Structure 1
């Protein structure tokens, strides 16, 4: 593990506030996967794929993908049951990783620079471990790798819900009681350390995204079942067997950037440094005053670290 290299801010594109990138529905293995495209603005751009976290969507990558468009031809997918994708049959980490692998194969763009936030980070670790041929570099933002002290996460409050029969119905009822504006505010307060960094445009987009959730009758079930799958994977990671995410992380040979926020309220703040220690060829960037979604809260800083990683990779390729 070594510190991340930050590309000079003045060499990034000028600050802007793009709308969410346009998307399309693609039928993959009989179900619809929604994908947003961030077209490259520079020559010889490499393909990139962005994977969101629990309860998120492809829209979470709008700013970062735009800042990297001069180097990366970006796609961001909605995982099954989230955003505008159709529900899946299973909501486990292996099933999500299989969908990401299938998407890379289907799009015929691999190997890609793979990005994952939170749940998407755990999924991306599994993809990189199982299919290194599909991954050029790996960037993990507050990856939800296993930790056992759920007192260090606001989502620890949800654990009792998993023991309730038909918990999905209770979650759906609770969702229906809250106005989209209230839900959006609560989500941002949980994920973002400094709300002043979130523009009014992004706040309104978050409200509209939550309206989409309200219209999707499967959303509550997808959320609860995914959370149950995360907890199950956490527990298995401390038992013998090849399915441990920490064992998989140790096998990742891809050049990796790990970004963590010191004010993360959803994933134990010790996880990002531990992830960087475990993955052999890793760089770590820990950010003071930043929460769970650094790519939303401080996208330019994250972009500087990503470009540092890409530049290092390009230099190594030329020397090799």
Structure 2
């Protein structure tokens, strides 16, 4: 593990708040998958794939994908049952990872620069471990890798739902008690450390996205079943077996950037440094005053770290980034 390097601020595009990137539906193995595409703005751009977290959508990557469009030709998919994608038969880490693998194969874009936030981070670790031929680099933002003390996560409140038969019905009832405006505020308060960083445009987009969820009859079931699958993967990771997520993290060979927020309220803040220690070729960026979704809260800082990763191979401008010093860095 080493410290992440930040590419110079002036290398990024001007400060803008773009609308969500255009989306379309693609039929994959009989199921419709929704994808948002961020077209490259520079020559020689390489393919990137962005994978969102539990309850999120492709829209979560709007800012980061735009900032990286000079280097990366981005696609962000909605996982089965989330965003605008159709539901799937299974909601487990292996099932989601299989879906991501099939997407990369179907689009014939691999190897890709793979990004994952939270649940998407756990999925991306499995993809990178099982199919190294499909992954150029790996960027993990607050990856939901296993930890056992659920008191360190606001999601611990959901554990009782897993003990209730058809807990998704109770979840659907609870969701119906909140307007999209209230639900969006609750999500942002849980995920973001400093709400002043979120523009009014992004708040309204979050409300609109939640309205889409409310219109999808499968959303509550997908959420609860995915949470159940995630908790199950956490518990299995402390038992013998090749499918354990921490063992798979140790098998990742792609150059990896791990980003964590020190005010993360959903994933134990010790997970990101542990991931960077376990993954062989890793760089760590820990951010003060940042929560669970650094790509939304401080997208420019995350973009600079990604460009630092991409700029590492020997080239005339390699090494132009700032050294890993300052309070944003952790080694």
Per the normalisation by structure 1, the TM-score is 0.98
Segments of structure 1 that go 5 or more residues without pairing to the other structure are none
2:82 maps to which residue?
82
In structure 2, do the counterparts of structure 1 residues 79 and 314 end up closer, same or farther at CA, with 3 Å as the change threshold?
Answer: farther
Show CA shifts across 1:48-84 (max 9, x none).
0000000000000000000000000000000000000
1:280 maps to which residue?
280
Distance across 1 between alignment mates of 2:282 and 2:276: 5
Q: How does 1:147-166 map to 2 (within 5 A)?
A: 147-166=147-166
Say which SS state the counterpart of residue 201 (structure 2) adopts. helix
- Structure 1 residue 314: deviation in Å? 6.0
Distance across 1 between alignment mates of 2:313 and 2:73: 17
1:175 maps to which residue?
175
2:121 maps to which residue?
121
- Structure 1 residue 291: deviation in Å? 0.0
Segments of structure 2 that go 5 or more residues without pairing to the other structure are 319-331
Distance across 1 between alignment mates of 2:223 and 2:132: 29
Say which SS state the counterpart of residue 138 (structure 1) adopts. strand
Q: How does 1:94-133 map to 2 (within 5 A)?
A: 94-133=94-133
2:221 maps to which residue?
221
1:10 maps to which residue?
10
- Structure 1 residue 207: deviation in Å? 0.0
- Structure 1 residue 313: deviation in Å? 3.6
1:231 maps to which residue?
231
Q: How does 1:31-42 map to 2 (within 5 A)?
A: 31-42=31-42
Higher helix content, 1 or 2: 1
Distance across 2 between alignment mates of 1:252 and 1:117: 17
2:326 maps to which residue?
none
Distance across 1 between alignment mates of 2:296 and 2:288: 15
Say which SS state the counterpart of residue 88 (structure 1) adopts. coil
Distance across 2 between alignment mates of 1:313 and 1:169: 51
Greater than 2 Å deviation, 4+ residue runs: 313-316
- Structure 1 residue 10: deviation in Å? 1.1
1:203 maps to which residue?
203
Q: State the superposition RMSD in angstroms.
A: 1.0
Distance across 2 between alignment mates of 1:311 and 1:238: 36
- Structure 1 residue 315: deviation in Å? 3.9
Say which SS state the counterpart of residue 173 (structure 2) adopts. helix
2:136 maps to which residue?
136
> What is the number of residues matched between the two proteins?
317
Per the normalisation by structure 2, the TM-score is 0.95
Show CA shifts across 1:96-124 (max 9, x none).
00000000000000000000000000000
Distance across 1 between alignment mates of 2:178 and 2:314: 48
Say which SS state the counterpart of residue 312 (structure 1) adopts. coil
Say which SS state the counterpart of residue 27 (structure 2) adopts. strand
Say which SS state the counterpart of residue 311 (structure 2) adopts. helix
